[in-house]
Every structure is written in structure tokens, then in C-alpha cells.
């Protein structure tokens, strides 16, 4: 049962353009969402997060949008840079101590110069 | 910037052998986790640890697995009798009071 779904396995974008990565979830108990970036042979690196009490959170070039009614979130990267090329994982959790992160399968972003 | 470290980076073992994967979480973090990623699949939660005890574990974390925090810095994952299907990248993570978990670089476990 996939509680967190990233339906696009890959995305290709030109440098300078916007990258939009999407994520859907099914468990209505999730109330905190995170995006991680992962390079080959490295661990996931935390990028940005959002609580369910918000609908937008911005950090530099990265913005996460949350639509609770649609159980959908997206990560926007503007402008995209070649160094952003990596696998991006959406993760969700329930805001309690020690609760696990549930990950999507990831989207591979390729930014060409 | 403090980071989670893991050793070894790559462990090769024979089926049925015991392995211990080691992690040093970020020093002021309170919660510790193990995840794994089988090649081509998603990152899966194994176990969380807080206040010297397991707080949550997944179905994957059966009796063959155990975790320990033997001292104030190390956090270990032991697999008692490895199986071929245990071959994966194992990631340790830690977090402070906030929800963001910080991951180590991983240990690649290969079971032959």
C-alpha cells in the first residue's frame, strides 16, 4: 500500500526554468511533509518541509505547496540549476515524537545547461 | 556543520553471518532511526529509538534485527543471521525536537 506516491519517475528541465515535482498521499493522518534530495551513493539530504497548518513554505529557490483537500504537495525549484540534478523524495509523517518518515519512490530530476 | 556518520561504507558478508552497522548521530539529537533502500526501491523505515528504547518498528524489523546505543555517541543495527534479501543500503538518521530527520551517507550491505 503506497501511502506516499510520486507518479513521475523522471523530469527533465532546462537550466533557468522552473522544476515542479509532485507528490500525493493517501493517509489523512499525515500532518508534516518533507522533501529530500539524494545523489547516488549518498544519504538523503533534507531540503524543505511543511506543516499541514500551512499551504506554502519557501526557502530560497525552493517552495513547497500543500493542498490538503487534494492530499497533494509539490516542490517548485526556481530557477533550476544543473547541480539540482538528483533524485527527489517526498516524505510524510505524523507529528509525534519518534514517528517514521514514509517515503515516495522518488523522482529523478535532470537539469540541462 | 554537524552530520551523521556511518561505518563501514560497504560491508560484504556471507549468508547466515551476523553484521553490525554503526552510526554516530548528531550529538544533540534525541531520536534515532534506521532505514533501508533495496536497489531500485524506495527508502523504507525499519526502527526508531528514543530514550534508550525502541519507539516504533516496521514489519521488516523482525527478530533478526536489533538496535543498541551502547554509549553516548554510537547507534548500532545488528542483523543476526543475514539473508540474501537483506542486501540493501542502510541509512541511519537522527533528529532533534523538530520533525526534520538528518541522514547519514549509508552502508551498502551485500549478502553473498
Distance, in Å, from the CA atom of A97 to the CA atom of A103, rounded to the nearest integer, reads: 18
Chain A residues touching residue B51 (CB < 8 angstroms)? none
Burial class (CB within 10 angstroms; exposed 0-12, middle 13-18, buried 19+) of A25: buried
Q: pLDDT tens digit string along B54-96?
A: 999 999 999 999 999 988 789 999 999 999 999 999 999 999 8
Distance, in Å, from the CA atom of B11 to the CA atom of B108, rounded to the nearest integer, reads: 6
Predicted local distance difference test score (pLDDT) of residue A97: 59
- A105/B102 touch (CB, cutoff 8 Å), yes or no: no
Q: What is the DSSP string of A39-71?
A: -TTS--EEEEEEETT-SEEEETTEEEEEETTTT
Q: Can you tell me the mean pLDDT for B34-51?
A: 93
Residue A98: which pLDDT band, with cuts at 50, 70 and 90? low
Q: Can you tell me the mean pLDDT for A23-37?
A: 95
Residue from B43, B53, B93 whose CB has the most chain A CBs within 10 Å, to mutate: B43
Q: Is the pLDDT of residue A38 over 70?
A: yes
Distance, in Å, from the CA atom of B111 to the CA atom of A108, rounded to the nearest integer, reads: 27
Distance from CA of B22 to the nearest CA of A (A): 15
CB A101 within 8 A of CB A23: no
Q: Is the pLDDT of residue B49 over 90?
A: yes
Of the candidates A41, A89, A99, the beta carbon closest to that of B43 is on: A89
Amino acid at each position: 500500500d503506497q501511502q506516499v506516491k510520486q507518479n513521475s519517475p523522471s523530469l527533465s528541465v532546462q537550466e533557468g526554468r522552473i522544476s515542479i515535482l509532485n507528490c500525493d498521499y493517501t493517509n489523512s493522518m499525515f500532518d508534516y511533509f518533507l522533501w529530500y534530495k539524494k545523489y547516488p551513493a549518498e544519504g538523503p539530504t533534507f531540503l524543505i518541509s511543511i506543516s499541514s497548518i500551512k499551504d506554502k513554505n519557501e526557502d530560497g529557490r525552493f517552495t513547497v505547496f500543500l493542498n490538503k483537500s487534494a492530499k497533494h504537495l509539490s516542490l517548485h525549484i526556481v530557477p533550476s540549476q544543473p547541480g539540482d540534478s538528483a533524485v527527489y523524495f517526498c516524505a510524510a509523517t505524523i507529528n509525534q515524537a519518534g514517528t517514521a518518515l514514509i517515503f515516495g519512490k522518488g523522482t529523478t530530476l535532470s537539469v540541462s545547461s | 556543520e554537524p552530520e551523521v556518520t556511518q561505518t563501514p561504507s560497504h560491508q560484504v558478508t556471507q549468508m547466515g553471518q551476523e553484521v553490525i552497522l554503526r552510526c554516530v548521530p548528531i550529538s544533540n539529537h534525541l531520536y534515532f532511526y534506521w532505514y533501508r533502500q533495496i536497489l531500485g526501491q524506495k527508502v523504507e523505515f525499519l526502527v526508531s529509538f528514543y530514550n534508550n528504547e525502541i519507539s516504533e518498528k516496521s514489519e521488516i524489523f523482525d527478530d533478526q534485527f536489533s538496535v543498541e546505543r551502547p554509549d553516548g555517541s554510537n547507534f548500532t543495527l545488528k542483523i543476526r543471521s543475514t539473508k540474501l534479501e537483506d542486501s540493501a543500503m542502510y541509512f541511519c538518521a537522527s533528529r532533534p525536537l523538530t520533525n526534520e530527520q538528518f541522514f547519514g551517507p549509508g552502508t551498502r550491505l551485500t549478502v553473498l
